[in-house]
Amino acid sequence: MELEKEIKQDKFRSVRHKMMLNIIFTANWFMASHGKSLKKYGITPEQFNILRILRGQRPKPATVNLLMERMLNKMSNVSRLVEKLRLKGYVNREICSEDRRACNVFITTRGLELLEKIDKLEKEWLGETNGLSEKEAIEVNRLLNRLRG
């Protein structure tokens, strides 16, 4: 559906203004869809992002700073998210032996099992992009990379 219909706005200040709003709207649309499907697993998209980063780091731990650097949403409160995941049994936290102010975060077996279940949603999530061909998806990636400089 066209942006104009989605947000009930006919005029934009410029084509660039419309593009910016369209990118923001589309990102929020994806996040809402993913958030809804993650809800049945009791985690948020930001918690899911942390678990995926930790799985990729395995067997090495990740510091909270590393998680912050790699998060898709840079505004996330990583310490709070890690604590919520720890309480659910999906991660462990240990004081870093080299720097007692830092802590190392590891994904648990339970966290890996949860990701295994959620991985099955990936096909559903990718289905949301079926309106574009493979060639168009490559072009969107190229243009977004270029936009961010």
Q: How much is the pLDDT for 46?
A: 94
Q: In this structure, is residue 8 part of a structural domain?
A: no
* DSSP at 15: H
Q: In this structure, is residue 104 part of a structural domain?
A: yes
Q: How much is the pLDDT for 1?
A: 74
Task: Give residue 56's pLDDT band: very low, low, confident or very high (50, 70, 90).
Answer: very high
| CATH value at residue 87 | 1.10.10.10
Burial classification of residue 103, based on how many CB atoms lie within 10 Å of its CB (0-12 exposed, 13-18 middle, 19 or more buried) = middle
Express each pLDDT in 61-82 by its tens digit.
999 989 999 998 887 799 999 9
Q: In this structure, is residue 101 part of a structural domain?
A: yes
Q: In this structure, is residue 84 part of a structural domain?
A: yes
Residue numbers of the domain that contains 60: 42-147
Which residue, 38, 56, 58, is CA-closest to 47?
38
User: Is the confidence at residue 52, as pLDDT, over 90?
Assistant: yes
Helix, strand, coil shares of the chain, percent, nearest 5, are: 60, 10, 30
Average pLDDT, stretch 98-114?
88
Q: In this structure, is residue 28 part of a structural domain?
A: no
Q: In this structure, is residue 141 part of a structural domain?
A: yes
Q: Give, rounded to a whole angstrom, the gap between the first and last alpha carbons of the chain.
A: 28
Q: In this structure, is residue 114 part of a structural domain?
A: yes
Average pLDDT, stretch 92-99?
79
In the chain, the number of structural domains is 1
